[in-house]
Structure 1
């Protein structure tokens, strides 16, 4: 039993995780479903009656129950992985990254999953924290709606379906991520 827990608690190699993702995607395609997490927000808004006020939310949400169950499984799986399968709370990052983050004013990088000086209720009261959390969250939500889906939906499901708009969206996600990482984030961290 201990060997199984040791195997589960370690990151799975690509040759195990990749085929499992492909199997899930094949199953979804076989049953005519598309994968995407941002769809759940639309479904929840529809369940709460938003379809009476906005055409976007006027659809049969019962066809999306499987996706809500999948999202609940992600939350439950994350909880189990964090509290029962994670051997240490320490984040394993390189010394070079730690040094660079310290130069940007991040206190104790690598001691937790996210820097508490950036992602906490106290940091929300600062300009930098407000921009990172509220403005960043708004941009993610706007971008998800504008792109017609989230990164997981386009990168996993859309590319599996060989959809050109998903390929364009994924290329845009990577370009945007590199742009923000190298040009905007260093400015925000030193602000």
Structure 2
């Protein structure tokens, strides 16, 4: 029997995120997944190929715990906290996705068209993933942080560059969904 729990309400999850941010700021740490991945690259020896990764990763070991926690949290969310039912999305969105070839939209929690391992055997899908990954990596480096780092950590520190970056992320997301995505698919 699967243990199925309801998602935490915003008034519990929000203050918990605020508490974590307070603790990180108090300890002089910054949060962001790109920082965690930088540490992972340094651990794996990327500093031998690029000066950017030449730093004492041991000082950032806590970043590795965040990566592990994200993986465990993702697994728990998918297998313990999910009912497996389809995500409730607007019927118009389902129609648009079906027209773009995503047959399982609105029928499954994780549509097979996007999230199955067989989707990786399609050269077009693989190319899209690789190009998207390169653009995200470049964007995170160019913006001096990722969406989570700027939106959670940077805004918590009242940093104007983070506010500008978050506005840019939202504009980029809107352009992608409304202009580029229909052209690609």
TM-score using structure 1 length? 0.86
Rounded to whole Å, the distance in 2 between the matches of 1:51 and 1:99 is 48
Query: Could you report, residue by residue, the CA deviation over 1:108-149 in whole angstroms, capped at 9, with x for unpaired residues?
Result: 212334443345555445564244312112111111111111
Structure 1, unpaired ranges of 5+: none
| Paired residues for 1:73-152 under 5 Å | 73-124=69-120, 126=122, 128-152=124-148
Preserved CA contact (<8 Å) 1:89 1:112: yes
Structure 2, unpaired ranges of 5+: none
Rounded to whole Å, the distance in 1 between the matches of 2:45 and 2:135 is 25
For the aligned residue pairs, the C-alpha RMSD in angstroms reads 2.0
Structure 1 stretch displaced more, 135-144 or 114-123: 114-123
Which residue is equivalent to 1:157? Answer: 153
Question: Could you tell me how far 1:181 is from its partner in structure 2?
Answer: 0.7
**1:184 is the counterpart of 2:180:** yes
Question: Could you tell me how far 1:92 is from its partner in structure 2?
Answer: 2.1
Give aligned pairs, total. 183
Which residue is equivalent to 1:173? Answer: 169
Query: Could you report, residue by residue, the CA deviation over 1:37-68 in whole angstroms, capped at 9, with x for unpaired residues?
Result: 11122112211222233221111111211121
1:93–1:22 Cα change, 3 Å: same
Structure 1 stretch displaced more, 83-92 or 11-20: 83-92
In the TM superposition, structure 1's runs of 4+ consecutive aligned residues that sit over 6 Å from their partners are none
TM-score using structure 2 length? 0.88
Rounded to whole Å, the distance in 2 between the matches of 1:77 and 1:122 is 24
